[in-house]
Amino acid sequence: MSPAELRVISIIGVPEVRPGDDVGRVLVEAARKQGTALQDGDVLVVTQKIVSKAEGRTVRLSSVEPSALARSIAAQWGKDARHVEVVLRESKRVVRMDRGILICETKHGFVCANAGVDASNVAEADAVTVLPEDPDASAGAIRATVLSLTGVEVAVLVSDSFGRPWRLGTTNVAIGVAGMEPLIDYRGQRDAYGRQLQTSITALADELTSVAEVVARKADSVPATIVRGATYQRGQGSGKALLRDLSEDMFR
């Protein structure tokens, strides 16, 4: 066995993405320009932010009429009622609400702060982005574009940074997946001592998006990263496969 090695390369020089832009094409061109040709088996991690922008998933707060509930929540916590309104519209369920922080289950089933509604890294001063309507489809479209433009098969992960209970700080997770199985199921496999691994399912896709964030820092607005050398199972996996079923989750 020789040491495994991974390379993680940020894609820089990506121009401002506008509604209707083809994210796959934009990234292939930016990668080419910096001399990083995509290779077969690469994992391309793309931030939700540029995907949402390209898909027109931006909401101008000036166009939002807040409901009574949104106004009441906003008044209580000194927030913008229109922002709260967008959060509520993106939500299927409010999981927790305290000190003005809304932890919501999005229509897709993701549980995160503000239902993924975010004001950072948006050009227009009164605009927020909301999550892509179908992040798996977004990932699939990027993957198809990369294949058609370069002839190489990559896996694509659409990433966002989510908080979590018990631990401080956000970590990146995969909300959209294309071309790979997002989980590694070790159950039934044996460890180096021949013992069966019991409860071992690893969220590989989430770990890969975390890798990406280590080189693509928030404030730098690096919208995509290539992870090269990762072993993964190619397949039809989805971001939804990373969601814990309601009936199996002790925390709902």
Site for its own copies in 81-100 (CB under 8 A): 96, 98
Q: Which amino acid is at 112?
A: C
208 binds its own copies (CB under 8 A): yes
Closest by CA to 177, choosing from 147, 150, 213, 137, is 137
Instruction: Give 40 or 249: the residue with its C-beta nearer to its own copies.
Output: 249
Among 133, 218, 233, 236, binds its own copies (CB under 8 A): 218
Among 201, 208, 210, 213, smallest CA distance to 243 is for: 201
Query: Among residues 226, 139, 132, which one has the least CA distance to residue 180?
Result: 139
CB of residue 97 to its own copies, shortest distance in Å: 8
- Name which of 141 and 216 has its Cβ closer to its own copies: 216
Could you tell me the smallest distance in angstroms from the CB atom of residue 51 to its own copies?
17
Residues 62-101, buried b or exposed e (16+ Cβ, 10 A)?
Answer: eebebeeebeebbeeeebbbbbbbbbbebbeeeeeeeeee
Q: Is residue 234 close enough to count as binding its own copies by CB under 8 A?
A: no
**Smaller CB separation from its own copies, 147 or 183:** 183
* First-last CA distance in the chain: 43
Comparison of 69 and 201: residue with beta carbon closer to its own copies? 201
Segment contacting its own copies by CB under 8 A, of 4-12, 52-60, 64-72, 139-147: 4-12
Separation between Cα atoms, residue 163 and residue 186, nearest integer Å: 26
Kindly tell me which residue out of 148, 202, 233, 236 binds its own copies, with binding defined by CB under 8 A.
Answer: 202
Q: Is 14 in the site for its own copies (CB under 8 A)?
A: no
DSSP code at position 14: P
Contact call for residue 12 and its own copies (CB under 8 A): yes
Residue 106 binds to its own copies (criterion: CB under 8 A): no
Give the separation between CA 224 and CA 145, rounded to whole angstroms.
15
Q: How many residues bind its own copies (CB under 8 A)?
A: 84
